[in-house]
Amino acid sequence: MNRPVVKTGVIGHPIAHSKSPIIHSYWIEKYGLSGSYEAFDIAPQALKKGVSALLDQGISGFNVTVPHKIAIMGLCDVLSPEALAIGAVNTISVQNGKLLGTNSDAFGFIENLNQNAPPDWSIKGKKALVLGAGGAALAVVYALIEAGALNVVVVNRTLDKAQDVCKKIGGNTDAASWDERDSLIKDADLIVNTTSLGMHGQPPLEIDLSPVSHALVSDIVYAPLMTDLLTQAQERGLPVVTGIGMLLHQARAGFALWHGIMPEVTPELETLVLS
């Protein structure tokens, strides 16, 4: 007897650029599952109607990307602690017609760090410096505090936004202004760029790593994979973690919810997504 197809996908606008169909299709095939993962272009004003159409088609769950990550919260019946803390939903699981919303970016960030940092590296009891205070920073700061960081300093061009992130996440977090970044990095055990700076087509991230003695340096930008920040860190002999893993690891959470299997991030998948 044929197994029913587990229908999943991603909603966004635009959506053609999304790497999620490549990732999920790879896992569906790898684990021999009967499933589908499609990209659905839903305009902001059509969100409610679009989601309701997906439910009518019997969708089991879906990812949510720009510009719906906040608006979708209003359609969810249940929100996870991560979604509430970060203030955005990127993963939906449908159960008995109800929408359960969560956010897998924090999971993706910390899993990527743990899998690709030097052996035995842990954030527990360490100090982190996070550059940027957008949606990605909220997930990263949440993840670091949950994972036991001693302190997280959020540095941002707009200081108010850094203060907002600290207020939302709580824990041992401090906000600092952009100009302070060079003086703050020397105390950090982990430096993370969550801004768009250094991405193809964006201005460079201007930072001088010369005072840094031992920090792990990570970037959530993955185009290019080796950003100037990571190249500078590597030239100074500092360990680095690239950004592609956050995208790959965050996808695991949705896959596990929908198919009941926690999939693996393999070098083959990474190459496929970057090609």
The DSSP string of 21-58 is HHHHHHHHHHTT--EEEEEEE--GGGHHHHHHHHHHTT
Q: What are the phi and psi torsion angles at 228 (to 5°)?
A: -60, -35
Within 10 A of 56 (CB to CB), how many other CB atoms are there?
Answer: 8
Does 133 interact with ligand ATR (rule: CB under 6 A)? yes
Our answer to whether residue 69 is catalytic in this structure is yes
> What does the alpha-carbon distance between residue 68 and residue 34 come to, in Å, rounded to a whole number?
28
Helix (H, G, I), strand (E, B) or coil at 197: coil
User: Least distance (Å) from ligand ATR to the CB of residue 88?
Assistant: 8
Does 136 interact with ligand ATR (rule: CB under 6 A)? yes
If we measure between CA atoms, which residue out of 209, 199, 201, 231 comes closest to residue 132? 199
Task: Report the residue number, 73 or 133, with the smaller CB distance to ligand ATR.
Answer: 133
Q: What are the phi and psi torsion angles at 122 (to 5°)?
A: -145, 150
- Catalytic residue, from 69, 98, 126, 161: name it: 69
Does 156 interact with ligand ATR (rule: CB under 6 A)? yes
Binding part of the chain for ligand ATR, among 97-105, 112-120, 121-129, 155-163 by CB under 6 A, reads 155-163
Does 210 interact with ligand ATR (rule: CB under 6 A)? no
Applying CB under 6 A, among 13, 19, 30, 161 the residue interacting with ligand ATR is 161
Q: What are the phi and psi torsion angles at 158 (to 5°)?
A: -100, 105
Q: What part of residues 88-117 is at the interface with ligand ATR (CB under 6 A)? A: none
Where helices occur in 185-240 by DSSP H, the ranges are 228-235
By CB under 6 A, the count of residues binding ligand ATR is 16
Contact criterion met (CB below 8 Å) for 91 and 103: yes
- Contacts of residue 234, defined as CB under 8 A and 6 or more positions apart, other chains included, come to 226, 240
Q: What is the amino acid identity at position 14?
A: P
Does 196 interact with ligand ATR (rule: CB under 6 A)? yes
Task: Report the residue number, 121 or 178, with the smaller CB distance to ligand ATR.
Answer: 178
Does 203 interact with ligand ATR (rule: CB under 6 A)? yes
Task: Report the residue number, 8 or 227, with the smaller CB distance to ligand ATR.
Answer: 227
CA atoms within 13 A on the CB side of 111: 19
If we measure between CA atoms, which residue out of 143, 135, 75 comes closest to residue 106? 143
User: Least distance (Å) from ligand ATR to the CB of residue 36?
Assistant: 28
CA atoms within 13 A on the CB side of 183: 5
Binding part of the chain for ligand ATR, among 7-15, 106-114, 118-126, 190-198 by CB under 6 A, reads 190-198
User: Least distance (Å) from ligand ATR to the CB of residue 32?
Assistant: 35
User: Least distance (Å) from ligand ATR to the CB of residue 121?
Assistant: 24
Binding part of the chain for ligand ATR, among 79-87, 92-100, 192-200, 224-232 by CB under 6 A, reads 192-200
Question: What is the binding site for ligand ATR (CB under 6 A)?
Answer: 132-137, 156-158, 161, 178, 194-197, 203
Q: Would you please indicate which residues are annotated as catalytic (active-site) residues?
A: 69
